[in-house]
Structure 1
Amino acid sequence: MGNTLFPIQFAAGSSPRWGSLNLVPLQNAEWDDILQNILVFIPLGMLLPLISRIRSAPRVLLVGFLVSLTMELPQYANAVLWNGGHVADVNDLLANTGGAPLGYGIYRGMLLLPAFRRRLPAGAGRPG
């Protein structure tokens, strides 16, 4: 987890890695990595309607995209500027982005359970 949140790695005496960007979907895709990226963003989609006014799948999708993009851009910048060890990957961006609305769908499904709805504070995350 720290490797994703803190992607900065300094490699002294190395030249920048300009090729540290994959913009071709599914090129060199590792399916276990894709699954992990989906899973790590499911909680975001479940929590957004509980902690914010975001209560629609398109908005959750947009937030998932923006959060993932803010993780991938520093990885690319680090690779170019300091020869960091990451490749900014469109597969990660797509998988993360897809995990957020999946989590939102799980949350919406849980709203169908009366026991879950009863445990929510008034107005917290309930669809308007």
Structure 2
Amino acid sequence: MGGMRPEPFVIPALPILLPLGAVLMVASWVVLRRRGTLTGRRLAAFWLASWYAVAVLGATLLPLEVDPGGAIEWFRINPVPLTMLRVRDFVLNIAMTVPLAAVLYVVFGVRDRARVLRVAVLVSASIEVTQTVLILTVHGNRWAEANDLVANVGGAWLGFLLFRRLLDVEGVRRAVDGSAAVPERTP
């Protein structure tokens, strides 16, 4: 009994992510309705933002392999940026956070670069800390890397630049402003 090691198991993605996405969709509708700002375009923007958050959660934490009796795989933790760089993962982390600036603009009214980058640092650091805790406690199959933090913030910055360029197109700006939960402030 005392020497038996618990069996590893997997926490699957879809049974968690699909209900979470549905809950966020309902919550979006409730929030917009209570604020008196419910429109079809705003609801669509909030739903897209909700599914973006679900996708980020799925890409960074799920599925999760749990090995309760396993050894800590220290090689999965890399606190030094731009070492042990896996180019594919670096590029995917950039791509994952490119939409962040648009989500922050439309849903939360965040319009300046410094705030977008601060949020990107906070979100990315939260992901990496969570992954580190999972590696140390349940011996998960994720990696916690400073490279991811660099790539995620770089992706958010690139997304900010691209989104600002898109807003220069009048039709895009009208569509975005009509969907935004927080209207553009005029000085």
By the TM > 0.5 criterion, same fold?
yes
Counterpart-to-counterpart distance in 1, 2:61 and 2:136? 18
1:16-54: CA deviation from partner (whole Å, max 9, x where unpaired): 334532111111101121111001101111221111131
Give the % identical residues: 33
- SS of structure 2 residue aligned to 1:80: helix
The one-letter amino acid paired with 1:89 is E
**3-state SS, counterpart of residue 72 of structure 2:** coil
Match of 2:129 in 1: 73
Residue deviations 1:63-121 (CA, integer Å, cap 9, x gap): 11111111111111111112112221000111011111211111111111111122231
Structure 1 unaligned residues grouped into runs of 5+: none
* Mapped partners of 1:87, 1:122: distance in 2: 36
Cα pair 2:106 2:179 within 8 Å, conserved: no
> Matched residue pairs, number?
128
User: CA RMSD of the aligned region, Å?
Assistant: 2.1
Q: Show the 5 A alignment for 1:26-105.
A: 26-105=82-161
Hey, which of these two has a bigger chunk of helix by percent?
A: 2
Q: State the distance in 2 between where 1:102 and 1:12 align.
A: 39
Contact 2:65 2:141 in 1 (8 A): yes
Secondary structure of 2:65 counterpart: coil
The answer for unaligned runs of 5 or more in structure 2 is 1-54
Structure number, greater radius of gyration:
2
